[in-house]
Structure 1
Amino acid sequence: MIAARQNQTLSLSPYNTPGGWGDGEAINLIYEGLVRMDPSGKSSDIVPAIADKWTVAADGLSYDFHIRDNAKFSNGDPITAEDVKSTLDMWADPKQDQWAAFAAGYKSTDVLDPSDVRINLSEVTGGFLYQLAMVAAVILPAKLVKAQGAAFFEKPVGSGPFMLDSWKKGSSITFVKNPNYWQPDRPLLDKVVFNFVTDDNTRILALNGGQAQSIDSVPWSQVEALQHTNGVMVDAFKIPSWILLSVNHKKAEFKDVNVRQALNLSIDRDAINKKIYQGLGTVPNSFLPQLHYDGNDSAVPPFAFDVAKAKSLMAGSAFPSGFKATLEFPSGSTAFQALAVVLQAEWAEIGVTVELRPEDQATLSKNFTGGTYDIMLPYALAASDVPIPDEFATFYGMPGSTNGFFTWWSDPTIESMVKEFIHTADDATRAQQWPKIQAAMAEQLPALNVLDLPLVKARAANVCDDVTNPIGYDTLLTAWIAK
């Protein structure tokens, strides 16, 4: 199967993913963790992967996992408890893993025997199984990683349904079926090619012309036309995804909460949704996407459009005369180009003069993580790796993790609330805690959320059973092509 992908794969290391979605989808095919989210996409449940069973101690401070007997790496070597221990220790080490915040609560792993491990936690962690299902927690062959270092990730040995065949950086990446995958009847496809096609119209032409059998990031303006195109199927998946608009709190302008609230209030989300996103989006009541435990609209009201109030907030800010800023966004996207133009005009109404700067994904990632931007739409589609709030609550609420997800925002009160939430096991209690955090963050606005959006993909009609998991990655376990 040949797929045209908007996002390039820049890295195959689960510990360093500058390509965002482009890295995550590739890593998801090559590697696997102890557990995974339901690959059928029918639920957000945690299901077995490399581990076929596990138990949780009564105090919630340890998890025992059994590695399935036929679990092997793609080179045929068995997956051992030592591999699990070594990998999880790397996962939790901020010196080795950019996303070590994913390992909140992790303390150590004990090797009980070659097929059994005990994972010990420093504190009860309510979403720990989901943490183990994230891309960053995949299991690697410890000896090879230690021997090869960074070179390992150029030609990795994995444990997932596919393995790397070739990687032409900036152009394409090719996967072939892993003959040693623990699920002997999966995957059904022998070969998968991701061609990197950043331009929206070129992806559409590739699908319509038969050069691609699947495309992602369907241009919103062309969804309806594709739905009426013979031989093409359009799929919309509800996942925790949103238009993330990040602001850099290292800049004095964005450190001022009045400015952030003014920017937020001056966005006409209803108009943007109708004009650019064909009404497929949802006006959010959180600066994060829709997640489990979210308060409803009556508990946490959706973001309003109120230019008069926005002007009043600007007048009361440290920058009453306005200021200049740059807005960086993914190049090649017709929707982001249109959105950027709208935001530029709307913010001009409150005295903020915006220079538009389209960038390729590598440049966006460098500027985002380096904190050298003003305002940024850092991803073609931002999405949570889990359906619960824990991941991005940690990113933003615990600034030591990723510098407030590269906003350099912090709030000690919210940090305390987030820590309590993450380290609470009782589901009912977490359901009470999160809406309070959601409301507090909606007031403080570490970043902005323009709209919650579904994931929209298109495929040739003869591509069958191509489903996504609960966070939107193509699993390609069941996909097949009809003759």
Structure 2
Amino acid sequence: MRKHHILTAVAAATVFSLGASTLALAGEESTSGGTFTYARSDSTTSFDLHQEITENNAFAIDKVFESLVTFDNDGNIIDWLAEDHKISDDGLIYTFTLRDGLKFSDGTDVTAEDVKFSIERHLEVGGSLPIEADVKSVEAVDEKTVEITLGTAYTPFLSELANFSNGIIPKDFGGKTEEEFFKNPVGTGPFAVSEWDPSGDLTFVKNEYYWQEGKPYIDELVYKVVDDDNQALNQLLAGEIDGIEDLSLSNASNVDGNADTKTATSFSYNVEELFFNTLDEHFSDEHVRRALAMAIDRESLTKALTFGYAEIANTVLPRALLYQTNDTVNALSYDIDAAKEELAQSAYPDGFDTTISIASGNNTRLQEAQIIQAAGAQIGINIEINAQEISTFRSDFRDLNFSMMINSATADYPDANSIFAFQVDPDGWSKCYWTSYNNETAADLMRKGQVTPDGDERAAVYEELQQILADEVPYIPLYNSENVVGLRDNVEGFTVLPNGSVHFEDVYFEE
């Protein structure tokens, strides 16, 4: 059933243990087997969990590799491969005890040495989502016990370990080279790779050694590349696919209005944003960025394009995350006269020509770009829309070959640091989400938030940080939408996690 509101559950430091009694979910009495075909806009290009970040890879990686802890659909941290964990009173020592009988998909046992190898390899590689904590040592105490010691307490560490990039892989890649291993990866997840075309589709088969007895219920999971919203809708309505990962919000009513299809929704850690390349001569000027922010009617844009599935975003933190200030931050509001006055203070008072980059095939992004184009025209900024095939779009923005772009930012784990470490740290891998934004005060606040215990002091740090970003607008938050997936009506057990991923081990077909 369609939901007309955002669920506002807030991630807290609550940790749950997943006991045997909670593993028997609905579906054991229902139809098992079959193939679930899931339409996605881009192919999976890599399974190297320590090097990847985009959802086309992340949501394939997390089907094969699993972490010690994870988070549920309410954003609570729960024990996963670890049956329990302990944190020392000083916050420096984390001790994890592995579940009994854990095996990799090749049938070999999972031990503490595999955990040690996985974390140390991540620390060595760094990669797109590095472990930011000051890890001094990782020790396999015995076959089932791992002890991680930090040099300095790091508040988001447990949440960070729940990220897909901290999945567990076999020690020494199971005797293979790195290249060989990641072409045919072996993990503890519910699925193993069967067929994989890095420029096309991906087929998983169920892991016969999966630790959750009886799961996954389906025999195969197929990621089918369908890079056009309308083609995906037509295939779903025709029964050629079982689900659409990123259902265009404009198509949601068509899915809900059909007797054989439905939508699944959840609150999300996703914020739609307009990003500025601050190395661009025009957008290095704060007055230009502020002027455009005041020229865009974000409330009307949200209402027109999200069909009740989103709320306006005033800050880069999604509403479902602790410490967001969406309703209290002093964000720049729609005011054309003020926008013109702001632009007059810039180095380009008479306006200029520029471009906005988007991924092609996405109807919503195209309409967003058109609205922003019209907003710019009102103050003399002439914007040409550059629609690119998605792999080219990603390659160009990573090479800083853009002026503006529309993209989304998603928290990979349920802590504010997941957003700030990626969008505020000038020394980070993404250079502030490829904006090259550099504000040392903001960066210092980000670092302070990492070591400040949860509570009022950490809230104050993030409140100040969010106000700086709202004032300087290296990116303009547009809206915080629900995760919306299109499904065939006979699909059950389907739950969308806040980051947009799905525990496909729980999915089954109704008879």
Shorter-chain TM-score bucket reads over 0.9
Q: Structure 1 residues 103, 180: closer, same or farther in 2, change over 3 A?
A: farther
Q: Matched residues in 1 for 2:317 and 2:356: separation?
A: 20
Answer yes or no: is 1:309 the counterpart of 2:343: no
Aligned counterparts, 1:6-85, within 5 A: 6-17=41-52, 20-38=54-72, 41=73, 43-85=74-116
Instruction: Select the residue among 309, 313, 322 that pairs with 1:280.
Output: 309
Contact 2:315/2:324 (<8 A) preserved: no
| 1:243-273 per-position Cα deviation (integer Å, ceiling 9, x unaligned) | 1222112222222211111121111112212
| The one of 388, 397, 420 aligned to 2:448 | 420
Distance in 1, matches of 2:70 and 2:414, equals: 12
CA distance in 1, matches of 2:281, 2:262: 47
Q: What one-letter code is carried by the residue in structure 1 that aligns with 2:128?
A: Q
Match of 1:98 in 2: 128
Residues in 2 aligned to 1:58 and 1:179: alpha-carbon distance in whole angstroms: 40
Report the equivalent of 1:480: 508
Taking the aligned partners of 1:298 and 1:50, their CA distance within structure 2 comes to 38
Query: What percent identity do the matched residue pairs reach?
Result: 27
- Decide whether aligned partners of structure 1 residues 240 and 126 sit closer, same or farther in structure 2, where only a CA change above 3 A counts: same
The reply to whether residue 358 of structure 1 matches residue 387 of structure 2 is yes
Mapping 1:62-211, distance limit 5 Å: 62-93=93-124, 95-100=125-130, 102-144=131-173, 147-211=176-240
Q: Is 1:228 paired with 2:257?
A: yes
- Residues 264-291 of structure 1, C-alpha deviation per residue, up to 9 Å, x if partnerless? 1111112212322224221112034324
Would you say the 8 A contact 2:267–2:320 is kept in 1?
A: no
| Distance in 2 between residues matched to 1:352 and 1:78, nearest whole Å | 61
5+ residue gaps, structure 2, are 1-35
Query: Do the aligned partners of 1:9 and 1:23 also contact (CA within 8 Å) in 2?
Result: yes
Shift in alpha-carbon separation, 1:420–1:47, aligned structure 2, 3 A: same
- 1:451 and 2:479 correspond: yes
Which whole-Å deviations, capped at 9, do the CAs of 1:307-341 have from their partners, x for residues lacking one? 11111111101222222222111111111111111
TM-score (norm 2): 0.89
Q: Across the two proteins, how many residue pairs are aligned to each other? A: 475
SS of structure 2 residue aligned to 1:254: coil
The 3-state SS of whatever aligns with 2:218 is: coil
- 8 Å CA contact 1:61, 1:122 repeated in 2: yes
> After alignment, is 393-402 or 288-297 more displaced?
288-297
Which of 273, 276, 283 is matched with 1:244 structurally?
273
1:482 counterpart letter in structure 2:
E
- 2-side partners of 1:262 and 1:160: how far apart? 48
**How far, CA to CA, are the matches of 1:385 and 1:373 in structure 2?**
25
Describe the superposition over 1:108-161 as per-residue Cα deviations: whole angstroms up to 9, x where unpaired.
312212221111112211111110000111111131277412332221111111
Distance 1:269 1:145 in 2: 51
Name the CA distance, whole Å, in 1 between partners of 2:444 and 2:330: 23
More displaced 10-residue stretch of structure 1: 335-344 or 143-152: 143-152
Q: Runs of 4 or more off by more than 6 Å in structure 1?
A: none
Instruction: State the secondary structure of the residue aligned to 2:312.
Output: coil
Task: Provide closer, same or farther for how the CA distance between residues 343 and 158 of structure 1 changes in structure 2, counting only shifts above 3 A.
Answer: same
Which has the higher mean CA deviation after the structures are superposed, 121-130 or 104-113? 104-113
User: Are the structure 2 counterparts of residues 149 and 300 from structure 1 closer, same or farther at C-alpha, using a change threshold of 3 Å?
Assistant: same
Paired AA for residue 447 in structure 1: Y
The AA in structure 2 aligned to 1:31 is F
